[in-house]
Structure 1
Amino acid sequence: MNNHIGRTLLLIILTFYSLMSPASGVSKYSTLIREVRGWSSEKVLAMGDTLLQRHEDDKALVMYMLVCSRTNDNMTDKELTDCSLANMKAGDIFYDRGNYINALKNYQTGLKLSESSKSKEHLASIYKNIGNAYCMFKDYDKGFEYYKKGYAIIPKGDKELTFKLLVNLFGVCLNRKDLKEARKYSQLIQTSPHPETAENQFYITFSKALLTSEEAHYAEANKILIDLAKTSIAAKLPAIFICSVYSHIYTNYMEMGDMSNALHYIRLCMQTAEKNHMMHYVPETLRDMAEIQKRSGNTSIAQQYDAQYLNLMDSIYNSQRFNVVKNQQFIYEVDKANKEITRLHQEEETHRHNARLYQLLFLVSIIAVVLISVLLFYVLRQKRNLEVSYRKLYDMNRSNMAETEERKATRTSNMKDDQKQQLLEDIQRVMEGTDEYCQQEFTVGSLAKLIGSNERYVSMVINDHYGKSFTELLNDCRIKKACERLTDDTEYANLTITAIGQSVGYKSQTTFIKQFRKCTGLTPSVYQKFVAEDRLKEHTVE
């Protein structure tokens, strides 16, 4: 319980310090970035390789990211090649740290750049690395696809890359359970020219043993593997090679039902893994040890190993969580460095473009001044013409209003039918002598009721005499009344246009403006402007 609390507190402290580190845009790599940002991409890449050899992976990654940031649409073939290589090397660092998503992103960016270059110098290697990333996600079909693409375009004479891709193709075929293709690539591994190293010789023999095991020839496979274990120890190969051999030996003995030999080699595997701190091998061997003990009839011992397996898995899980938190600071600093590189690159691009921008600015300014002058001349002329047109419309409306008033005083009727004449006079009395039609709900029915007639007769007389419908007559009367009120400088002087529209019966300002323009050719605001101008002229004359 106390151990669990201690681990939790340690994780919290590490998280706190990773989040509370300086949050400014300046990273701890700022000095390094500013020192090398003027260098050529080739020189920066070389610096990254040097840092990588010194095991300063974080600084090496910053160097590679600096070259990646120089990607643009106008690169030479050499620049494309450098940027694709930088992306591949940055991806390799992420891959080695277990960050397969970021690794894949860099690989895919490098792939696009390499494919767009003429030389396509690193394309085969990038295909191989993308295949590795997909295999880590257990997408063996995708991994196989990219390995084949890489193998198809390997530069002539590149024995090392050829050998690596053949080994990867063989391994992924075993994972896909495709023994036919696995045999094909195994044969190519045996016959392909390759650099003479102990590691390469290990892969040749190991692949042969694995294929033999997959074909269920376990005894024959173990004979090869036991010899391979001895030669690997003699050649002082890394412990992971030896553990891999022991793991397959005891697995084959388990398949053969030989638990005694299986027990012997699983112990050798466990001892080698523990001695070399390869903790990821131990849980698997504990689980397999429990299975061997069960098959041997040692149930209680098997249960002990099962318990050890579960405890160790819990410990490894916590250790992995610890490493994730511990690695947050690295990711955080790298991200800050990447942002700083992007910002500095943008500044350089800005300075580069500003020179050309200033050259164009003067010419653009002259063109803009000319265009604005022409536009202003045109607008002023149009405005002047519009003012003249509006003035004519306004004068015509005032003239029409005066004629209407004159007709009111001198109107005589030639109608012979006394009833129609009387009805017409009643209509005129209401529509011209009262403000009843200014009521918002005023209709032909309202008018008929006021004059003691019916809607049909009223509509007929209006149509015969005015040549228009009741609605048209109503809108004409209302707009004329609105013109009068817009002209009135006493009672209605302080009303807004909306209020005047409502005073003559319009609920909606939009409808009022639409009908006003239809009847007068002007908007109420323009009409009101001319009224004000006329008043000013009258006062000036006085």
Structure 2
Amino acid sequence: MKKIYFITAILFFNLYFSQHKKYSDYYNIKKNYENYPENDSRAFVFLDQYIKLAKQKKDYDRLAQGYEDAVFYSASSVDKLKYADSTVYAALLSKNNDIISDAYLGKGIIYYFNYKKYKPALDEYLKAYEYSENSTNDYLKNEILYHLGVVKCYLGYYDSALAHFQKANDYFYQKLQEKAHPNIIFNNKKGYYNSLHRIIVCYRNLKSYNAADSLITKGLAQTQNNPDFQQEYGYFLKEKGIEQLRKNDVKNALNSLQKSIKPINHINDFAWSTVNYFYIGKSYLALENSHEAIQYFQKVDSVFQEHNFILPELRENYEQLIHYYKDQKDNSKELYYTKQLLKADRIISKDFAYLSSTIHKDYDTRTLQEEKERLERTTSWGKWIIIGLIFLALLLVAIIAEKLRNEKNIKINYKILEDKILNNLYTPSHEKFDSKPNEDEKCNLNEELVGQILSKLKSFEDKCGFIENGLTINKLAHKLHTNSNYLSQIINEYKGVNFNRYLSELRIRYITNKLYNDKIYLTYKIETLAEKCGIASRTNFSNLFREINGMRPTDFIKKRQKDIKTGCQNFPVFGTV
């Protein structure tokens, strides 16, 4: 019996030390830097060793982890993005979908948090979402869901973003009811409080003020005296201050907003800092303290100058500055802030297309043009401004006219397509396909052979064989056990088109039906849609879609998303962009 115990002990220690040795090299390096704070470049003395070791051993899981750590400890945004690219590269080599998904998520976070570039961030989040679809890692899935919601919220899709945040919030709340390691509990609390904050922001923009009030009270109660969550406490205070200002409780609003500055600025979240500055400025205006108000409005401009970033809801910031300096008869500063407003409008129109089409603009193009004309009389170079503005105004009118004409055509063509789809008149094999040729157009093949080939073609269409990439008439003839000349002749005469056109129409009708009936297809990029229906080129796909359907695929997708959002369908859309 002692011998058995002895042998068992030897086997156990051999197994333990072999596993310990397997990970000890990485562990011994990582323990030297893992306690450094974020953005501390001292970590690279050891982190470079970690990455070098992973490269030598071609351990791509570890290499991805090393690059992810490099993102965390890099001090500059440029380096963070560079290492985020390297993380994606290593993750793809690992062929582990969870690691790949996490890498794309990390890159998207850099675009969002460090650069405030929402469209690139959304592209990375969608890639992360695709790789996580079959994952069992629910934390990763809900983290992706949260960040998708963040970008959608900034782009103005508040209903869709709200659905994401609520789902993520429910997940993190459920996880908090389970016993777990303190680090896991901390991460779940972070996820819970941040998603709660985002839900409040959505409710505020959707004017669901009672719902927002209730959640603000809950968030403040749970974070107020908790030193680990002062950042989140600052977010809830910010929202409380905005709500108090809406209710004209100005002094308390000012107090809440000023208290929220420190925890938000502590993490350099300049986006929410500008929101704080703006509403503090509005609070001072309500108290008729223009001097203090202007200082805070100018803080928003300072952030704009440094980061070339502004939120649509802060557009009013420049209107207030222009009004103020107009009253002060300070032409120089009025002109400067007018130019800043025009610059802000360009950014809003580019990065916030959805919001820029709906946001109320007290200073529209005509007003700005009139103000420029007035300033021209007091500045030596004003005449060039007015010439430029007239040109821009004419160009804008032409663009708007063209846009309206295109929108009208899009609505007409979309309605035609929708009627066909709803009445089952737009299936791949419908319409001119299977029409009988005239007597003088009939081929010289016997009817039995023609019937066999047409039957096989119908089966080919019903089974969606046409979505295969690189399909040629020779390949199809081989699959149908017939001669390519016979097949070409029958397609020309019985389908009314040549083989290439026949294949293109099948593919475009297939993907059009998918876009209309399956909402997940609305989240795909054009390249993915082309691939899904067997077309190799994005350009070729777009051209064929427009030629066959009378509208671009992007226009069809936007119109379909709008119909779903406005309640034309009885199901919610997930993943609209």
TM-score class normalised by the smaller sequence: 0.3 to 0.5
Identify which of structures 1 and 2 has the higher relative contact order when contacts are C-alpha pairs closer than 8 Å and 6+ apart: 1
TM-score, with structure 1 as normaliser? 0.43
The structure number with the bigger radius of gyration is: 1
**TM-score, structure 2 length as denominator?**
0.41
